[in-house]
Structure 1
């Protein structure tokens, strides 16, 4: 069935056990992913168990079998399919017709046609829930930021929310990541809420990094070692550039991950680049094309985990660690050169 916007939050926070299949689709892929992650929490902090769409196409019964299996080590889990399309429709049909299911199936489909077999199935069946995410703009995105902040223990004024919306290009996933880091820095949570001020945004916000700061992460991911070393040498001694560099690198990795997933599902790099259209600045296209060819999804995930761990380490200390930043970037550059 099609999700009702007014009741969507409660449907994700307190999922109906009768719902076996959730389809999040639409042009706002970051918003769909944010909703899917909210659902995992509602399912008891369920762990993602990734199943590839092509494997479901090859064996439609496998999806129902996997959803009906008990977790080996106990705990909750959710079957996660991304990217999803009509190739999983037959498998979803078998899932919905099965006598029982232990785990919910969550599918992220991006933009799909209204005539999609998968969409029609999800909207028509009472044991399925479908929601279309549109990119929020203006006041809508400000309200999203304020609500995301509340869940992180942050009180956010409209002017601050507007700045965060602009700095993250209305991307809910990046905004949520930003707010999580602000909350960590301020020591905020729902039991100990704090005001998010301009000073914190100036220090840590996504718009605090200049183009040369973003360039450091791009040079590392592209394996351009000599240029990277030169840029690192230009950083002022004792400065606080580590956090902006890591934040820009995280945003790049977050952008690359779903694109690379499509490549590993069988799409060519050229077709993935074409699908991005005007959402990608033309000067960045050669770089992104190279990075999609060099970095696998697994390596991107590993890189993102290391970057997040280093940022957390730096943020919990009064001084930035420039040596650790340089070591991290050089390590990424070496990995890229080995792949390239």
Structure 2
């Protein structure tokens, strides 16, 4: 069934036995992971988490239903998580929802799936599933999210600090949280001793990245200049910038290019499409359309998604993964120049 974020949170916090499957699809993978983590917290610190890969479900579709019905080795609560799922998981999810019993909830993160995907339609149609489309917050929604996370850390946003945080993080919940954790430590803030978060604190800690700095790295990647990209990435790393917002912005540019290429393939006039682009981006968009076809765009987006997922893992190598993915993308473009 279709659900909104509040309905999902209510069901998760109550550990509703009526819900076998939580499906979170759409580009806000960070928000989806936060909801998945919320389920783990609701089940308690002793709950056992089983992680399954989409490739496992493709080769053994019955595995998911078996794990959902199995008892924990220690007799406590358990739940199953599948990250990076796509249409290859359709049979496994069908077997899960059609099974006679399923005592353990399943969370599926499917950042690349759209509302028209068969997996999404399956979850929407089944009463034992809850399905949420996760989109990156923008504008006022992103500002409100920054304010809410700040409050959880004992920080009261003032003036334009919420908007600055939202812009610096690219709307990514995980990046916002990490920045606010640093700011709370800097200001000695906590829920029981709240502090005001002002521009001076943001300047001191460094959460002041503007779009222009990230844009130069993105342009270098799309235009196919690995050497220039290396210099830009080094500058971002020196400033302590998280790679997530950069990857997110690059993904958005590629998705926009994919939509334009689809229109061109369908017979649209390229010049007319360029006229709809923000005037400062018209020249770079024209160059990109010459270098990037649909297949290469799809490949590049998948590389970005993989890099994002790798960065979210515990003990991850951080910037190295993002830098490598963006360098490969720059080289893909360079071969077309």
Q: TM-score interval w.r.t. the shorter chain?
A: 0.5 to 0.7
Q: CA deviation at 1:87?
A: 1.8
Instruction: Give the match for residue 2 of structure 2.
Output: 2
Q: Is residue 145 of structure 1 aligned with residue 139 of structure 2?
A: no
Establish whether residue 199 from structure 1 lines up as the match of residue 200 from structure 2. yes
For residue 121 of structure 1, give the secondary structure of its aligned residue in structure 2: helix
1:305 paired with 2:306, answer no
Q: CA deviation at 1:5?
A: 4.5
Aligned residues of 1:26 and 1:111 also touching (Cα < 8 A):
yes
Q: What is the Cα deviation at residue 41 of structure 1?
A: 2.4
Q: Which residue of 1 aligns with 2:33?
A: 33
Aligned to 1:206, the other structure's residue is in SS state coil
Residues 110 and 253 of structure 1: is their aligned pair in 2 closer, same or farther, counting only changes over 3 Å?
A: closer
* Alpha-carbon shift at residue 63 of structure 1 (Å): 0.4
1:106 is displaced (CA, Å) by 0.8
Figure out how many residues of one structure are paired with residues of the other and give that number. 286
Residues 39-54 of structure 1 aligned to structure 2 (within 5 Å): 39-45=39-45, 46=47, 48-54=49-55
What is the Cα deviation at residue 274 of structure 1? 5.5
Contact 2:169 2:244 in 1 (8 A): no
Shift of 1:168: 1.5
| Partner Cα distance (1:55, 1:93) in 2 | 15
Deviation, structure 1 residue 242 = 9.1
> Residue 248 of structure 1 aligns with which residue?
242
CA-CA distance at 1:254 after TM superposition? 9.2
SS in 2 for 1:112: coil
Q: Deviations over 1:116-170 (max 9, x none)?
A: 2211221122221101123322212111111122222322235211111111122
Q: TM-score, normalised by structure 1?
A: 0.63
Is the 1:64–1:98 contact (alpha carbons within 8 Å) kept by the matching residues of 2? yes
| C-alpha distance in structure 2 between counterparts of 1:184 and 1:276, whole Å | 38
Q: 2:85 touches 2:108 (CA, 8 Å); kept in 1?
A: yes
Paired residues of 2:170 and 2:245 also in contact (CA < 8 A): no
The 5 Å alignment of 1:1-340 reads 1-45=1-45, 46=47, 48-72=49-73, 76-157=77-158, 159-207=160-208, 211=213, 244-245=239-240, 247-248=241-242, 277=257, 300=310, 305=315
Alignment check: 8 A CA contact 1:250 1:307 kept: no
Q: Which sections of structure 1, spanning at least 5 residues, go unmatched? A: 216-223, 236-240, 260-271, 309-327
State the partner residue of 1:313: none
Given that residues 50 and 80 in structure 1 are in contact (C-alpha distance below 8 angstroms), is that contact kept between their aligned partners in structure 2?
A: yes
Return the TM-score normalized by structure 2.
0.64
8 A Cα contact 1:204 1:243, kept in partner? no
Cα RMSD, aligned residues only? 4.8
1:80 to partner: Cα distance: 1.5
Distance 1:142 1:116, change over 3 A: same
Looking at structure 1, the residues matched to 73 and 178 of structure 2 have their Cα atoms a distance apart, in angstroms, of 31
CA 162–306 in structure 1, closer or farther in 2 if over 3 Å, else same: same
> Cα deviation per residue 1:23-56 (whole Å; 9 max; x = unaligned)?
0112433333333333332333556432111221
> 8 Å contact 2:183–2:201 — kept in the other structure?
yes
- Report the CA distance between 1:276 and its aligned residue: 7.8
Cα deviations by residue, 1:173-197 (Å, 9 ceiling, x for unpaired): 3222222332333343333333222
